[in-house]
């Protein structure tokens, strides 16, 4: 290789050959660095194409029940409400800390209690190390139709039913009241007796 370079650089047409070799080095050097730069920009700026929506593709939006009007939520909403409430309660029992649970209940109930009072109220569940996380993969079975009751002078959504958990079913009665357009928890009864 050294002999070839000397022959090209020191031969009769050394200046012309030197320009040719220099041009090759510049071409190869710029070409490679340009390829690397392009490769980097491709790796950094990869974008996932967004799906194209056509006019014939209908969008399905589920209308959420308006609690301020006393609307009963759809079955899917009811399932989510019950599961979220019981799992939040289970987390509070497991940690013996009702602060997060307290933050999710109605303002009316918040004025009547505190996280410490909730902890005292549900001490039997804490001491019994009750865990209701078994409902996570299950559907609630409602024992009566969800209803809006106004016998206490305000609208209250009442949900009664159970989860088929073992060794014993998890029975529940949950009460919610409207706050704005949302239903917020005002009462909870959980029963795991046979």
3-class DSSP string for the chain = CHHHHHHHHHCCCHHHHHHHHHHHHHHHHHHHHHHHHHHHHHHHCCCCCCCCCCCCCCCCCCCCCCHHHCCCCCHHHHHHHHHHHHHHHHHHHHHCCCHHHHHCECHHHHHHCCHHHHHHHCHHHHHCCCCCHHHCCCCCEECCCCEEECCCCCCEEEEEEEECCCCCCEEEEEEEEEECCEEEEEEEEEECCC
Predicted confidence at residue 16, as pLDDT, reads 40
Q: How far apart are CA 125 and CA 119, in angstroms?
A: 9
Do 36 and 72 share a domain, yes or no? no
Tell me if 53 is assigned to some domain. no
Within this chain, do residues 94 and 167 fall inside the same structural domain, yes or no?
yes
Give the per-residue pLDDT at 147: 95
Residue 151 lies in a domain: yes
Do 94 and 182 have their domain in common?
Answer: yes
Residue 86's CATH number: 3.10.450.590
Mean pLDDT by 10 residues, the chain (194 residues): 50 46 40 43 39 46 83 96 97 97 97 97 95 95 93 91 93 96 96 87
Residue 156 lies in a domain: yes
71 shares a domain with 36: no
* Any domain includes 169: yes
Is the whole model's pTM more than 0.75, yes or no?
A: no
What's the structural domain count of the chain?
Answer: 2
Specify the pLDDT at position 129.
92
Q: Is 19 inside a domain boundary?
A: yes
**103 with 138, same domain?**
yes
Residue 59 falls within a domain, yes or no? no
Quote the domain boundaries for residue 143.
67-191
What is the pLDDT at residue 119?
97
Residue 129 placed within a domain: yes
Half-sphere exposure of 105 (CA within 13 A, CB side): 23
Query: Residue 11: its pLDDT value, please?
Result: 53
Report pLDDT for 152: 81
């Amino acid at each position: 290789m050294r002999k070839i370079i000397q022959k090209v650089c020191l031969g009769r047409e050394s200046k012309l050959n030197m320009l040719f070799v220099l041009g090759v080095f510049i071409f190869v050097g710029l070409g490679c660095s340009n390829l690397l730069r392009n490769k980097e920009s491709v790796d950094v700026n990869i974008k996932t194409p967004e799906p194209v929506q056509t006019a014939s593709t209908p969008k399905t939006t589920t209308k959420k029940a308006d609690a301020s009007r006393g609307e009963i939520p759809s079955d899917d909403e009811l399932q989510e409400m019950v599961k979220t409430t019981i799992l939040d309660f289970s987390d509070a029992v497991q940690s013996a800390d009702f602060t997060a649970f307290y933050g999710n209940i109605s303002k009316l109930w918040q004025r009547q209690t505190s996280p410490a009072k909730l902890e005292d109220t549900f001490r039997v569940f804490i001491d019994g190390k009750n865990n209701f996380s078994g409902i996570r993969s299950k559907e609630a079975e409602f024992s009566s139709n969800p209803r809006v009751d106004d016998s206490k002078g305000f609208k209250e959504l009442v949900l009664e039913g159970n989860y088929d958990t073992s060794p014993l079913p998890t029975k529940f009665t949950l009460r919610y009241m409207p706050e704005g357009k949302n239903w917020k928890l005002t009462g909870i009864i959980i029963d795991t007796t046979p």
